[in-house]
Amino acid sequence: MQQSLLFTPITLRGVTARNRIVVSPMCQYKSVDGTPTDWQLVHFGRYAMGGAGIVFGEESAVEARGRKTYHCAGIWNAHQVKAYRRITDFIKEMGAVPAIQLGHCGRNAGSHGAMEEWRPLDERDARAGMPPWRGLAPSPIPARRGFPVPIEMDHDDLKTVLTAFRDATCRAVDAGYDIIEIHGAHGYLIHQFLSPVSNHRKDAYGGDRAGRMRLALEVAETVRAALPTDKPLFFRVSAVDGKGGLWGIDDTVALARELAQRDIDVVDCSSGGISGDSAMPLVPRVPGYQVPYASRVRREAGVRSMAVGLITEPHHAEAILRDGDADLVAMARELMVHADWPLRAAKALTDDPFGLMNPSIAHRLRRRDEQAEAHPPGSPVEIPLMPNRTEPYRWQA
């Protein structure tokens, strides 16, 4: 069988992943005061057991006010670091690389979680002990209808956020994470600065594309400087805004070029999160719908890219790599259903379907297959019965 690129190890700086399958960051809304619980240990641990090369946890806020909800993950204190260490130790024990995404929600602060469609907190929630709070933003434009007007960030706010990213990076390293990703997509704070829809500033952090990219690049410089040189840094982008947006793929390629100059190792290409009134269409959700963005970033910006978005078939993932459209393939919801998807893909693409498994499990499954080879499909099988039965059990395999 031809050597699979999907199952070829990849080395990024001093970190080697056993394959190119990445568990994409997935918010869980299960944290307590930003701290992970046994839910995260089991949820993310099962992806490592399932054979993924890199396992991202969830987007983790760099400061408490940078959360969307009271149940979002965070990494702004030492107590959280200790809790994350349990998770990273287990992921490494299972042979995968633990990774974390650092972010700040900006104006999306003070809401409920995904189950309630991110409904803004109100007085009823305040009476229940969850008062709403105003988020930060480049401009005083609410995230959506019903959300409060956010606080327009001044230069002290900008410095505070940069310091929070630096400190969170150091905590993430102490927590055992080997890869860090900056969340610059999906309508979060950095994306809010990038898009003309949400950034109406007149100072050095607004105006033309260079001004709107300034915070993103400063965060990249800050995190890279705080991160050991042997650990890779990813940056997630919304390659295009949502329906009616203004930030497009040409802007993303320009940003990716600047990120590459600041030693970003991988640009993670997603989309959406900010909507407006332009003619920009909604990206249709079809298999691999964001692969063309990853391809353009890789080819035109000269930086490694990661593709994500309805990639569910092993041969599709393999083709993305073989065609040179991306260096890594990320998955989320398909892994929620099939946490062992990498094992299934290995069976389709390699001659060692059990190589990713824990040795004790692999041994049992290899023995099962050996025994099955003794009775190939179509051969009659007779099962001896207990003494009180007269006819043998027959089954046509």
Which pLDDT band holds residue 397 (cuts at 50, 70, 90)? low
Q: What is the pLDDT of residue 118?
A: 85
Q: What is the pLDDT of residue 221?
A: 98
Which pLDDT band holds residue 386 (cuts at 50, 70, 90)? low
Q: DSSP class of residue 108?
A: G
Both tokens of 74, joined, read 């965070």
Q: At the top level of CATH, which class does the domain 10-349 belong to?
A: alpha beta
Output the CA–CA distances (angstroms, integers) from residue 362 to 20, 21, 352, in the order listed: 21, 20, 10
213/158 Cα distance (integer angstroms): 14
* Candidate list 188, 289, 293, 393, residue with the active-site label: 188
Question: Among this protein's residues, is 393 annotated catalytic?
Answer: no
| Angle (nearest 5°) at CA 69 between 68 and 70 | 140
Which pLDDT band holds residue 395 (cuts at 50, 70, 90)? low
| pLDDT tens sequence across 81-108 | 999 999 999 999 999 999 999 999 999 9
pLDDT at 371 over 70: yes
51/22 Cα distance (integer angstroms): 10
Q: What is the pLDDT of residue 388?
A: 64
Both tokens of 388, joined, read 């009180």
Residue with the two structure tokens 């024990």: 93
358/94 Cα distance (integer angstroms): 7
Q: DSSP class of residue 357?
A: S
Question: What average pLDDT does the segment 46-68 reach?
Answer: 96
Cβ–Cβ under 8 Å, residues 206 and 158 = no
Cβ–Cβ under 8 Å, residues 130 and 155 = no
Closest Cα to residue 20, out of 363, 358, 311, 359? 311
Q: What is the pLDDT of residue 394?
A: 60
Which pLDDT band holds residue 210 (cuts at 50, 70, 90)? very high
pLDDT at 384 over 70: no
Range of weakest confidence among 199-213, 242-256, 377-391? 377-391
pLDDT at 377 over 80: no
Provide the residue count of the chain: 397
Q: Exposed e or buried b for every residue in 360-397, given b needs 16+ CB within 10 A?
A: eebeeeeeeeeeeeeeeeeeeeeeeeeeeeeeeeeeee
Average pLDDT, the chain: 93
Range of weakest confidence among 37-46, 124-133, 238-247, 370-379? 370-379
Q: Return the domain boundaries, the chain.
A: 10-349, 358-397
